[in-house]
Amino acid sequence: MSSGVPTLIALLHGPDQPGLVARVAGWIFERGGNILHADQHRDMEAGVFFQRVEWVPCFAPASGALPEAPSGGRTVIEAASEFTTFAATLGMSARVLSSAQRARVALFVSKADHCFHDLVLRGKAGDFPGEIVAVVGNHRDLAEAAAGYGLPFHHVPVSAETKVAAEARQLDLLRELRVELVVLARYMQVLSADFIGRFGAPVINIHHSFLPAFAGGRPYHQAHSRGVKLIGATAHYATRDLDEGPIIHQDVVRVTHRHGVDDLVRKGRDLERQVLAQALRWHLEGRVLAYGNKTVVFD
């Protein structure tokens, strides 16, 4: 899944019609590319076709010259652009990424550090094709830990009064750093619909509950009070409606009457780390296609 030649990965979706698989495969083949993986899905009710296709492109040398690096800047962008144009002729939207590129990721944090440490250490271990370029905190609690990892920490305090200005500052920062993905690593502020709209790139959140969830805050207290035997965590894209964005991944862990709220919180921390890390990895590998309020995950 990893080693070797850079590949292109396209995520496509659009109205279903006969021959889509053949035409996509044919287009790639005619240009000398070799498909490594191709996975399709049809939403029968909605009549929508989805595809993830990954291929080794051929960048033919012009007039005997050496080929440019297939993952190199302009060449990949060109290849992506060509494919997107082709997809449009089929009535399909496409997003193309190169396996050689590492997305620029910002972590938004508050005080809790479990997801923060987990994601940073996984990043260092090469667990996902992304680079954490900034940590943005509304509190200073994780500034030192970020520094310890050699990561720039940006303190942007947020209060009801300063929220508009704070989000503007966050957006400036994200633009300046060319951030392509924001991960809310237990960031305890709600991003406004305006922020989501203006950022224009994906935001992944970890919800510390199974969805559908208990209404209101403090899910572990509510779970304990209701006497549930499982607690859950849900990673989803943040949309303008909080906690209503498309679900990427969910998991649960078993609890018993012996577990107090403290234990639920501790077990929840473990679960949140796992679920968020998996969702991030799938996203960065180009395996997640969101449409409407759902996702297709080509795992």
List, by residue number, the catalytic residues. Answer: 243
- Write the single-letter amino acid at 24: V
Q: Which residues contact 5 (CB under 8 A, 6 or more apart)?
A: 56, 70
CB 189 within 8 A of CB 110: yes
Whole-number minimum distance, CB 172 to its own copies, in Å?
31
- From the list 152, 213, 242, 243, which residue makes contact with its own copies (rule: CB under 8 A)? 213
Whole-number minimum distance, CB 10 to its own copies, in Å?
13
Give the nearer residue to its own copies in terms of CB position, either 158 or 235. Answer: 235
Whole-number minimum distance, CB 178 to its own copies, in Å?
28
Nearest CA-CA partner of 136 in 196, 189, 91: 189
Give the range of 64-72, 154-162, 165-173, 211-219 binding its own copies by CB under 8 A. Answer: 211-219
Phi and psi at 40, nearest 5°, equal -120, 160
Q: Is 207 among the residues that bind its own copies (CB under 8 A)?
A: no
Compute how many other C-beta atoms are within 10 angstroms of the C-beta atom of residue 49: 21
Please report, as residue ranges, which positions from 221 to 280 form the binding site for its own copies (by CB under 8 A): 226-230, 232, 246-252, 256-260, 262-263, 266, 269-270, 274
Give the range of 29-37, 67-75, 90-98, 135-143 binding its own copies by CB under 8 A. Answer: 29-37
Please report, as residue ranges, which positions from 31 to 90 form the binding site for its own copies (by CB under 8 A): 32, 34-44, 50
Give per-residue burial for 146-157: e unless 16+ CB within 10 Å, then b.
Answer: beebebebbebe
Q: Is 205 among the residues that bind its own copies (CB under 8 A)?
A: no
Give the range of 20-28, 94-102, 162-170, 191-199 binding its own copies by CB under 8 A. Answer: 20-28
Burial of 298 (0-12, 13-18, 19+ CB in 10 A): buried
Q: Is 5 among the residues that bind its own copies (CB under 8 A)?
A: no
- CA dihedral of residues 23, 25, 28, 33 (deg, nearest 10): -170
Whole-number minimum distance, CB 250 to its own copies, in Å?
4
Taking CB under 8 A as the rule, which mask of x and - marks residues 148-177 in contact with its own copies?
x-----------------------------
Give, to the nearest 10 degrees, the angle between helix 261-284 and helix 114-124: 30
Whole-number minimum distance, CB 165 to its own copies, in Å?
33
- From the list 28, 96, 136, 203, which residue makes contact with its own copies (rule: CB under 8 A)? 28
Distance CA 234, CA 275 (A): 7
Distance CA 219, CA 209 (A): 6
- Write the single-letter amino acid at 229: K
Compute how many other C-beta atoms are within 10 angstroms of the C-beta atom of residue 106: 25
* Three-state SS at 198: helix
- Residue numbers of the site for its own copies (CB under 8 A)? 1-3, 18-23, 25-26, 28-29, 32, 34-44, 50, 113-114, 117, 121, 125, 127, 148, 210-214, 226-230, 232, 246-252, 256-260, 262-263, 266, 269-270, 274, 293-297, 299
